[in-house]
A and B are shown apart, each in its own frame.
Chain A
Amino acid sequence: MSSTDLRQTPLHALHVELGARMVPFAGYEMPVQYPSGILAEHAHTRAAAGLFDVSHMGQAFLEGPDAARRFEALAPTDVATQPIGRLRYTQLLNESGGVLDDLMVARRPPRKAGEELLFLVVNASRKEDDFAHIRRLLPDLRLGELGDRALLALQGPKAASVLARRWPKLVELPFMGVASGAELGETGADYLVSRSGYTGEDGFEISLAASEAEVFARSLLREDEVRPVGLGARDSLRLEAGLCLYGHDLDETTSPVEAGLLWSIPKRRRAEAGFPGAARILREIAEGPGRRRVGLRLEGKAPAREGAEIVDRDGAAIGRVTSGGFGPSVGAPIAMGYVASAKAAIGEAVDLVVRGKKLAARVAPMPFHPHAYFRGP
């Protein structure tokens, strides 16, 4: 794809002005890092507040009669009893229980009597396929892609105090809570704010009109605690937090059980079984999956990247690394990958094959860096 085919987010000019290195990502020209560099941006997010442009992600409304329960036919989550004002993480599944995408779902107050309204945020790389899939399976519901909206994330221990200067009520928003700008006392523009993110830190994701995004981003960057953070640190932060990246740690062959995402499938859905691939997923719940996503800590300093083969200490292949690199806050190389369940116990000694050499590693608990989500005042 040539650079002229790449789409730009509403903050493109600001990224360039800030000196970002722009790279192609999921069809968009995105900032991979700013002049301070990935390590500094990573550390700043863990210590203060990092501002991320994630406007490439797909935002959409799904609405119509009984939209919540209807959506449950596509994903093993509980939207039917999900309160308005809560955000949930789930996966779109194929008929064999593989993950088509992972996404966030919020319920919002319906815009028409007798209807229900869901707000969805999906991965940039998957959005066209996801929206086609939803339209195909739920043709009588209305899916409205919000292509005219930006999405910003403010992440880190200072994120709440920074945003509270604008919206004092925000400090009370629970982890995975959602509030509109109006609920926060905003009189003008139409914001949707959730206490969520992809870094393991406390933080917020803010959906707003594309036309408002640059002014809003500049206002945050004027705060002492806030610095811009690119996709490079977004990746190292989420890896340390043990969070999956679609297309790497999740794909159409992996099930949520193998991926260690069973916590996102509530009891009612397991009991009722009405979701794609339920036969495989319920069997894996009962019998255990054949392979599991695990964390890996390397004993040396050399990192292992995606694709590295994982072998047991007898040299037998047991799996592959799906994400790996240097963990800046851990101060050592870390990775995640899938291994045969018999070799998935914490502490299991394995080798990761990098450039023909075996790097000693151990199966390790995730997250690699402790989560610091908001757990109440």
Chain B
Amino acid sequence: MSQLRYSKDHEYIRLEGEIGVVGISDHAQAQLGDVVFVELPKIGTQVVQGGEAAVVESVKAASEVYAPASGEIVAVNDALESQPSLINEDATGKGWIFRIKLADARELDALMDEAAYQEFLKTEA
């Protein structure tokens, strides 16, 4: 299962084995505009689903990134420290923010698949 699941806060998570790769959706990066700084979580931090895990700052404003699932932060994307614009260029690829070792993979059932997320965006507009 490599497809993306989305939260209502516009994070995505992509499952790679028991690890979830997390970032912000392409829609979210477009809304934010040019990203100039990312505050990454510390490796080893425990996060809960819906809890604050990172901060993405655009020229205009700071936006919290919430964990789309609970677990332990096992990796962060250090490349964002020197190249925060990776989030704009490739939000769901090279612009990933952190990896979580999931506490309970069933939490992902509450998230939206691509089609549901696209529908959700229409309701937000």
Cβ contact of B33, chosen from A33, A302, A333, A355, cutoff 8 A: A33
* B36 in contact (CB, < 8 A): yes
Number of contacts between A and B (CB, 8 Å)?
Answer: 42
Known: A33-B33, A38-B34, A303-B37. A232 touches B59 (CB 8 A): yes
Contact between B39 and A325, CB atoms less than 8 A apart = no
Contact between A325 and B59, CB atoms less than 8 A apart = yes
Contact between A301 and B59, CB atoms less than 8 A apart = no
Cα–Cα distance between A72 and B15 once the two chains are bound (Å): 68
Cβ contact of B39, chosen from A233, A236, A302, cutoff 8 A: A302
Cα–Cα distance between A235 and B39 once the two chains are bound (Å): 23
Cα–Cα distance between A32 and B62 once the two chains are bound (Å): 16
Q: How far is the CB of B31 from chain A (nearest CB, A)?
A: 8
Contact with A along B92-106 (1 / 0, CB 8 A): 000000000000000
Cα–Cα distance between A76 and B71 once the two chains are bound (Å): 61
Cα–Cα distance between A236 and B57 once the two chains are bound (Å): 14
Contact with B along A271-308 (1 / 0, CB 8 A): 00000000000000000000000000000011101000
How many residues on B have C-beta within 8 angstroms of the other chain's C-beta atoms? 14
Contact between B60 and A38, CB atoms less than 8 A apart = yes
B34 / chain A contacts, CB cutoff of 8 Å:
37-39
Contact with B along A18-62 (1 / 0, CB 8 A): 000000000000001100011100100000000000000000000
A33 / chain B contacts, CB cutoff of 8 Å:
33
Cα–Cα distance between A235 and B34 once the two chains are bound (Å): 14
* B81 in contact (CB, < 8 A): yes
Cα–Cα distance between A236 and B33 once the two chains are bound (Å): 14
* A328 in contact (CB, < 8 A): yes
Contact between A301 and B61, CB atoms less than 8 A apart = no
B62 / chain A contacts, CB cutoff of 8 Å:
303, 305
B57 / chain A contacts, CB cutoff of 8 Å:
302-303, 326
Q: How far is the CB of A103 from chain B (nearest CB, A)?
A: 25
Known: A301-B81, A355-B55. A326 touches B61 (CB 8 A): no
A235 / chain B contacts, CB cutoff of 8 Å:
60
A325 / chain B contacts, CB cutoff of 8 Å:
59-60
Q: How far is the CB of A158 from chain B (nearest CB, A)?
A: 23
A305 / chain B contacts, CB cutoff of 8 Å:
61-62
Contact with B along A217-252 (1 / 0, CB 8 A): 000000000000000110110000000000000000
B58 / chain A contacts, CB cutoff of 8 Å:
38
Interface residues of B in 18-39 (CB under 8 A from A): 33-34, 36-37, 39
Known: A232-B60, A303-B57, A355-B55. A326 touches B33 (CB 8 A): no
Binding site for A on B (CB under 8 A): 33-34, 36-37, 39, 55, 57-62, 81, 88
Binding site for B on A (CB under 8 A): 32-33, 37-39, 42, 232-233, 235-236, 301-303, 305, 325-326, 328, 333, 355
26 A-B pairs within 8 Å (CB atoms) are namely A32-B60, A33-B33, A37-B33, A38-B33, A38-B34, A38-B58, A38-B59, A39-B59, A232-B33, A232-B59, A233-B59, A236-B59, A301-B37, A302-B37, A302-B57, A303-B36, A303-B37, A303-B62, A305-B61, A325-B59, A325-B60, A326-B36, A326-B37, A333-B36, A355-B39, A355-B55
Beyond the given A38-B60, A302-B37, A303-B62, could you list 14 further A-B residue pairs with CB under 8 A, ordered by the A residue number?
Answer: A37-B88, A38-B58, A38-B59, A39-B34, A39-B59, A232-B33, A232-B59, A235-B60, A302-B39, A303-B36, A303-B37, A305-B62, A333-B37, A355-B55
